[in-house]
Amino acid sequence: MNNDVEEGIIEKNEPTKVCPWWAESIPIVLLLIVDVLICKYYIDPRNVTWKYPIYSYIFGSLCLVWFVYMITDRTIIGGIGGFYDAYWFCNIGLLLTALGAFFSLPTLIGQSMCLLLMPHVSFWIDFICFPCLKRCVVGAFPFMFDDSTSFREKVTSYHHFWFFPGLAFLLLGQPPISISSFYLSVLLFLLLIILSRYMTPLEYVNPDGSRRYLNVCCAHEFPEFAKHIQPFKWAIGKPFVVYVSVIFLFYVVPVNFISFIVLVLVQKGINSLL
């Protein structure tokens, strides 16, 4: 059995009954539109210009194309169950970044950075340590190191290699991201996990009978590596309001805030060298 944060195939007795596979795309599109409008008209200044404008369009296009490629390929590989990966906050982050690059909205990009820094750091820790230790240290993305996972499936997650280095170049010369990026990132995570809880299943049963483990945005259960850590262990089996409160208070808020502080310091450090 392949237990990981983003994908896998498991066997259980009864599938979960949820909305149609395309349904969550409707509130997410509306959420992205509202997010863009808030950043454009109430947070980001109107005169934001990137240091390298052509690169901003190239990088934004890369994020958008990669999102389409990833979801298309995972749907081909895993059936409709693969499409559900589009709703993961890390993949929504690609869309936010693309929109931020196209419309010159640093706060939109800042949300993605606050939301995704820790998962990407976890990915890099495991990627660096696995060849020496022959095991995942963090274990957030074990499918990347599982021999049963095809190379084709692993490639769809290779954006972890270039996403933050590409953002560092995009934001050269820009003022540090605002605190609004942190506030909006925790709100975005909360809304995505609530949507995923009620609109996506824990697993998807394909027409051939195979089952694909989803747990989109960890909306149904904690990832395996967190199940033995308090207070997450305590929240297992509790009502959803308790479950999501524990995630929000003990992971999202502190981790996203630490990410925000780290990102601001890194931006200041890079800008001091220019």
**What pLDDT, on the 0 to 100 scale, is given for residue 108?**
95
pLDDT score for 7: 42
Which tokens belong to 25? 């795309």
The per-residue pLDDT for 194 is: 96
3-class SS of residue 161: helix
Q: Which of 57-66, 143-152, 201-210, 265-274 has the highest mean pLDDT?
A: 57-66
Which pair of structure tokens corresponds to residue 236? 């297992």
- In three-state secondary structure terms, 274 is coil
Q: Which residues contact 103 (CB under 8 A, 6 or more apart)?
A: 36, 40
- Predicted confidence (pLDDT) per residue in 79-89, tens digit: 888 899 999 99
Mean local confidence (pLDDT), 205-229: 88
Residue where the block lists tokens 């200041």: 268
**Structure tokens belonging to residue 109:** 């990009």
pLDDT at residue 5, as a whole number = 43
- How far apart are alpha carbons 217 and 213 in whole angstroms? 12
What are φ and ψ of residue 212, in 5° steps? Answer: -110, 120
Contacts of 196 (CB under 8 A, 6+ apart): 24, 87, 216, 217, 219
Phi/psi at 23 (5° precision): -65, -40
The whole-angstrom separation of Cα 29 and Cα 184 is 16
Residue 232 has pLDDT above 50, yes or no: yes
> What percent of the chain is helix, strand and coil (3-state, nearest 5)?
65, 5, 30
More confidently predicted of 274 and 115: 115
Length of the chain in residues, anyone? 274
Q: In whole angstroms, what is the distance from residue 202 CA to residue 7 CA?
A: 11
pLDDT digits (tens, 9 = 90+) for 119-132: 899 888 888 887 77
Spatial contact of 158 and 166, defined as CB atoms under 8 Å apart: no
What is the distance of C-alpha 159 from the center of its chain? 11
Q: How far apart are CA 75 and CA 216, in angstroms?
A: 15
9, pLDDT greater than 60: no
pLDDT, tens digit (0-9, with 9 covering 90-100), for 26-80: 999 999 999 999 999 999 988 789 999 999 999 999 999 999 999 999 899 888 8
Amino acid at 87: Y
Residue 23 to residues 20, 87, 238, 264, Cα–Cα distance (Å): 5, 11, 27, 36
Q: Residue 70 carries which side chain, given as an amino acid letter?
A: M
